[in-house]
Chain A
Amino acid sequence: MIKVNLVIVGGGPAGLAAAKSAYDAGERDILILEREAELGGILNQCIHNGFGLHTFKEELTGPEYAARYVDEVTKRNITYKLNATVIDVSCDKTVTYVSAEDGLVQVQAKAIILSCGCRERPRGAINIAGMRGAGVFSAGTAQKLVNIDGYLPGKEVVILGSGDIGLIMARRMTFEGAHVSAVVELMPYSSGLNRNIVQCLNDFGIPLYFSHTVVDIKGRDRVEGVVIAQVDDKLQPIKETERLIACDTLLLSVGLLPENELAKNAEVQLSPTTGGAVVDENLMTNVDGVFECGNVLHVHDLVDFVSAESENAGKCAVDYINGAAPCRDKTVISCTNGVRYCVPTVLNRDETYAPQSFKMRVANVFKKVELAVFADGVKVFGRKRPVVAPGEMENIMLTAEQMKTLKQAKTVEITLIKGEQQ
């Protein structure tokens, strides 16, 4: 068995940023394991621009953003393996990977960073009735076919879901000569960015139907059309509103799920809300020395936030390798009144008080609210927001002094104070 201090599973934006910061924190014995033939992860197929405004203060495309971090990693001579698929991670921190070059290899690590991203929710998970003809793709699969492989998967397109990938693909398919007749969104709001509704749909006159869904897929060998219907306030389709849209392709952009099969093998405790690990402020899971960062932990809106989070994970993993003792006494942060989740999920009741960011999502669109943090029932932090939405991650930064109050408290609550309650 090979011994490596820090094994990083996944060479996408999270893994690359974690490797860079681990190196800069003094660790030299690092191994990145990447399943694909190149580093960069999903950024390689995100050829549109809009990445990096926070990190690099300029607007880059996905491949350019990836290249910046790949350069940082290669400049530091950090070891990485390509075409290497990790098939197991155990709680004693043994990582097993397979590759055509090396065969099956076991690596004993001192610390592991899981940065293996998320997966798209597939057709099977949303129970659309209908035939099984060719032409149903997840939006990300279509993105890979068009941008990486150079194939156009269809010419008459309907897109279900108005997440960013769905919106981006509406424009991309239009650019490549396809006709996108509709984007259909179950919810009364989009989980995508407003700018993408403007520049990917409005610019090309593509209609966006809120509170609608696809109830049937027609076509035996190839998709021939989809039946869409309006939904009521319980999200149930209204029979009378059904209508057929002729198309040869249905793209699904219906959500992203953190990919935690490896984490489960390692007995990492998962959050039922995010699907990612339960982590403390050091991004460490319940398994000592196993860390998570990026979309495997919770799905982010911006890669810039993934990079920042992952750089923190890299540094914390090095602290652990260098002997920082894990704290056993933890406070679970309770999320209430419309706050769906928060990362970190738990706080260590130790005496390290450093400025700390908290990232969270809300469960619905709320107007005129105050996002507030309470310690033992006393408000420690509050920020008024004109509008909060599930599609937009909220990020708050607490000072070392505020963290001291939180860490010494018996209960910590993050909540929304609404309307007249304020």
Chain B
Amino acid sequence: MSREMICINCPMGCRLTVDDADKSNIKVAGNTCPRGVTYAVNEITAPKRMVTGSVKVVGGNIPMVSVKTREAIPKELIFDSLEILKKVTLTAPVHIGDVVVADVCGCGVDFIATKKVDSVSR
């Protein structure tokens, strides 16, 4: 079966035509770069998404710090991962790349901070 899909890897949003009649040999056309093929195959076999959010931070110059999954995680874990984030409170200072939640939902990917927060003495 052939289906249309839009690659979400980058803002170009290539329109892919994917033939997944043979699941072990999925054919992809319309991609501009190799990431399109990986995306299409993942989308059919095990879709993944980057998850970004923000968590509370105490003792810092700002009240929230932004975070992201270091890489895309299985799509079905999005809301479970967000539930975990809601329970997290960090203490400043925070640096870009600091691990906020290790091994999110056992999928082997960490949530990391994407913004620096300086500590302020009060």
Q: Interface on A for B, CB 8 Å cutoff?
A: 44, 47-50, 53, 59-64, 67, 146-150, 175-176, 193-195, 197-199, 203, 301-302
Contact = CB atoms under 8 A, between A and B. Distances in A.
B96 interface: yes
B54 A147 contact: yes
A64 B96 contact: yes
Contacts of B9: 59, 195
Given A64-B96, A301-B11, A198 B115 contact: no
Contact of B96 (A49, A59, A67): A67
Contacts, number: 77
B11 A302 contact: yes
A310 B61 CA distance: 29
B10 A53 contact: yes
Contacts of B6: 194-195, 197-198
A67 B113 CA distance: 12
Contacts of A149: 63-64
Contacts of A146: 54
A391 B70 CA distance: 30
B8 A147 contact: no
Contacts of A199: 8, 49
A47 B52 contact: yes
A195 B66 contact: no
Interface of B: 6-11, 13, 15, 49-54, 56, 62-64, 66-68, 75, 78, 82, 96, 114-116
Contacts of A203: 49, 75
Nearest to B115: A63
18 contacts: A47-B67, A49-B50, A50-B10, A59-B10, A61-B68, A62-B66, A63-B115, A67-B96, A67-B115, A147-B54, A147-B66, A148-B64, A175-B53, A193-B13, A194-B13, A195-B13, A198-B13, A203-B49
Given A150-B56, A150-B64, A176-B82, 5 more contacts: A49-B50, A62-B66, A67-B116, A194-B13, A195-B7
A59 to B, nearest CB: 7
A150 B11 CA distance: 27
Contacts of A175: 51, 53, 78, 82
Given A63-B114, A67-B116, A49 B68 contact: yes
Per CB-CB distance, the 6 closest pairs between chain A and chain B, nearest first, are A194-B13, A47-B66, A63-B115, A195-B8, A195-B13, A61-B114
A64 B75 CA distance: 23
A163 to B, nearest CB: 14
A214 B49 CA distance: 32
Contacts of B64: 147-150
- Which of A47, A49, A53, A193 has the most CB atoms of chain B within a 10 A radius of its CB? A47
A62 B96 CA distance: 12
B105 to A, nearest CB: 15
Contact of A195 (B11, B54, B82): B11
A176 B52 CA distance: 11
A197 B6 CA distance: 9
A148 B8 contact: no
B62 A148 contact: yes
Nearest to B63: A150
Nearest to B75: A203
Contacts of B49: 199, 203
B66 A61 contact: yes
A301 B10 CA distance: 12
A49 B52 contact: yes
A304 to B, nearest CB: 9
A198 B56 CA distance: 29
A47 B66 CA distance: 6
Given A148-B64, A150-B64, A61 B11 contact: no
A102 B64 CA distance: 28
Contacts of A53: 10-11
B67 to A, nearest CB: 8
Contacts of B8: 195, 198-199
A197 B15 CA distance: 13
A361 B68 CA distance: 33
B11 A50 contact: yes
Nearest to B66: A47
A203 B15 CA distance: 17
Contacts of A60: 114
Nearest to B57: A150
Nearest to A45: B66
Contacts of B11: 50, 53, 193, 195, 301-302
A20 to B, nearest CB: 19
